[in-house]
């Protein structure tokens, strides 16, 4: 029998999706499953975007430019200007989601065997993207006690080798919700310049910041034009994950010309997604005001409820719509599977993501889970009821 590739064997499973069969099993038994495992918002997609799809009148659904539809990129210029980022249409390549944009960035900037430094915990699929590109992730651990703030810069310095080509950040962060400050980003900028590295910044949650805090982009850092690559997406901004539209942005002409070769090899990004994403830029500001208030209320429910549970701790994040919580459990993978396979409270259970899958360091995150607060407040309260009782009943409780 032929053997699969080494790369295929090395590809990690998604900690977010690997428990789906157990969730399906619970549902088949009539148990209601509250999905807190995946960043799929229940917020309504803006009507202006949906209307653009309904009113599509072209007689042929044709390939677009490999960099994306020009009118969309031109309209994105205005969007980025509104958030104090100055770019031009030829400094963007539209991707099939931020996922493809990240792959373009990694493949354009790094050779097989090169290293990229990422503070952990980080979005689990970064591990998969790195495996796909043949590069190695070097994790720098952040602490739940500090709310997952930027680790000491000395930790980054100590991790840099002659193989290091880039540092990657997610801001606001998935899975922790941490919002990096301008001061923290300036520290990273100085390190990037000192060692002549690339800085890749995933900013897909830009719109979601709370308590009066504002997002600061790496594209606003002085003196970093040749080093910086911005990754963005419409998935969370407009609650439109299925559009599969993201973008890679850089002022570095050589990087963009190289990425274009990868973009041409896959021909073009999805037409309908681009049409809808272009229209979504006209979403009224009131939409975001309401959405932000809704997410803040949801965050407060989750954080307050967890911190009242015996033995549990949850930092209060300033951005995105995730928390990483520490629970009195022996193994988050076992616990999350147990919730679906063996447990229910009033015929309801919760699907969480084991935080171990968001770390690259083996053994980390064993007593932590990621929760996406993407359900309405009533469902979140019901979910927290289930979690509170589950922690008390779990056979592997540690305190």
Sign of dihedral through CA atoms 376, 377, 379, 380? positive
Over 90: is that where the pLDDT of 16 sits? Answer: no
User: At residue 223, does pLDDT exceed 90?
Assistant: yes
Whole-angstrom distance, CA of residue 347 vs CA of residue 354:
22
Q: Which domains does the chain have, with CATH numbers?
A: 6-44+286-393 (3.90.1150.10), 47-280 (3.40.640.10)
Contacts 24+ apart (CB under 8 A), 180-188: 180/150, 180/216, 181/216, 182/216, 184/149, 184/150, 185/216, 185/218, 185/221, 186/221, 187/150, 187/153, 188/150, 188/153, 188/156
> Which carries the bigger pLDDT value, residue 16 or residue 30?
30
Detail the DSSP E strand segments found in the chain.
32-35, 92-95, 115-120, 136-141, 164-170, 198-202, 228-233, 246-249, 322-326, 348-351, 353-354, 368-372
Q: State the average pLDDT over residues 194-210.
A: 97
pLDDT of residue 168: 98
Identify the three-state secondary structure at position 50: helix
pLDDT tens for 333-385 read 999 999 999 999 999 999 999 999 999 898 999 999 999 999 999 999 999 99
The torsion defined by the Cα of 295, 300, 306 and 310, in degrees rounded to 10, comes to 180
Asked if residues 129 and 103 have their Cβ atoms less than 8 Å apart, the reply is yes
- Under 8 Å between Cβ of 220 and 183: no
Q: Please determine, for residue 17, whether its predicted confidence score (pLDDT) is greater than 80.
A: no
Total count of residues recorded for the chain: 399
Average of per-residue pLDDT across 292-310: 97
Taking residues 48-55, what's their average pLDDT? 97
Q: How confident is the model at residue 13 (pLDDT cuts 50, 70, 90)?
A: confident
pLDDT (average), residues 225-253: 97
How much is the pLDDT for 115? 98
Tens digits of residue pLDDT in 150-191: 999 999 999 999 999 999 999 999 999 999 999 999 999 999
Instruction: Report the DSSP beta bridge partners of residue 169.
Output: 201
pLDDT digits (tens, 9 = 90+) for 254-271: 999 999 999 999 999 999
Q: Would you say residue 42 has pLDDT above 90?
A: no
Please state, in angstroms and rounded to a whole number, the distance separating the CA atoms of residues 314 and 230: 29
pLDDT of residue 202: 98
Please list, in sequence order, all residues whose beta carbon lies within 8 angstroms of the beta carbon of residue 235, skipping any fewer than 6 positions away.
97, 98, 204, 241, 243, 244, 245, 246
Candidates 103, 48, 37; CA nearest to 283 is 48
Q: What is the pLDDT of residue 354?
A: 94
DSSP three-state, residue 271: helix
Residue range 289-297: mean pLDDT, rounded:
96
For residue 399, the model assigns a pLDDT of: 78
Please write the tens of the pLDDT for every residue from 62-113. Answer: 999 999 999 999 999 999 999 999 999 999 999 999 999 999 999 999 999 9
In this prediction, residue 114 carries a pLDDT of 98
pLDDT of residue 272: 97
Per-residue tokens: 203: 């900013």
Say if residue 49's pLDDT is above 90: yes
> How much is the pLDDT for 39?
83
Element counts in the chain: helices (H) and strands (E): 13, 12
Q: Which of 279, 219, 271, 274 is nearest to 249 (CA)?
A: 219
């Amino acid at each position: 029998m032929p053997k699969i590739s080494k790369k295929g064997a090395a590809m990690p499973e998604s900690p977010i999706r690997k428990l789906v069969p157990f969730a399906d099993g619970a549902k088949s038994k009539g148990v209601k499953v509250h999905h807190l495992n995946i960043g799929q918002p229940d917020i309504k997609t803006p009507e202006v975007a949906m209307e653009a799809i309904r009113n599509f009148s072209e007689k042929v659904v044709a390939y677009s430019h490999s960099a994306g539809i020009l009118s969309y990129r031109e309209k994105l210029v205005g969007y980025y200007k509104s958030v104090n980022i100055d770019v031009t249409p030829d400094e963007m390549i539209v991707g099939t989601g931020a996922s493809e944009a990240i792959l373009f960035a990694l493949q354009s900037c790094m050779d097989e065997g090169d290293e990229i430094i990422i503070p952990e915990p980080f979005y689990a699929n970064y591990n998969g993207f790195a495996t796909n590109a043949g590069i190695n992730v070097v994790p720098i651990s952040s602490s739940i006690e500090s709310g997952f703030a930027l680790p000491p810069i000395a930790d980054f310095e100590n991790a840099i080798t002659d193989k290091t080509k880039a540092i990657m950040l997610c801001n606001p962060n998935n899975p922790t919700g941490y919002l990096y400050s301008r001061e923290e980003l300036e520290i990273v900028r100085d390190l990037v310049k000192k060692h002549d590295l690339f800085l890749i910044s995933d900013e897909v949650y830009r719109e979601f910041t709370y308590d009066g805090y504002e997002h600061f982009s790496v594209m606003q850092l002085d003196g970093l034009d040749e080093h910086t690559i911005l990754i963005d997406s419409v998935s969370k901004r407009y609650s439109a994950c299925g559009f599969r539209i993201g973008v890679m942005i850089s002022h570095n002409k050589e990087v963009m010309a190289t990425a274009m070769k990868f973009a041409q090899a896959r021909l073009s990004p999805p037409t309908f997604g681009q049409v809808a994403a272009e229209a979504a830029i006209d979403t009224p500001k009131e939409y975001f005001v309401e959405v932000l208030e809704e997410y803040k209320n949801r965050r407060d429910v989750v954080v307050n409820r967890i911190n009242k549970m015996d033995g549990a701790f949850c930092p209060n994040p300033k951005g995105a719509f995730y928390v990483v919580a520490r629970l009195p459990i022996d193994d988050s993978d076992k616990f999350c599977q147990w919730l679906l396979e063996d447990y229910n409270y009033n015929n309801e259970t919760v699907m969480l993501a084991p935080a171990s899958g968001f770390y690259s360091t083996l053994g980390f995150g064993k007593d932590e889970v990621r929760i996406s607060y993407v359900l309405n407040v009533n469902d979140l309260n019901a979910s927290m009821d289930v979690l509170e009782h589950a922690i008390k009943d779990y056979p592997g409780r540690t305190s």
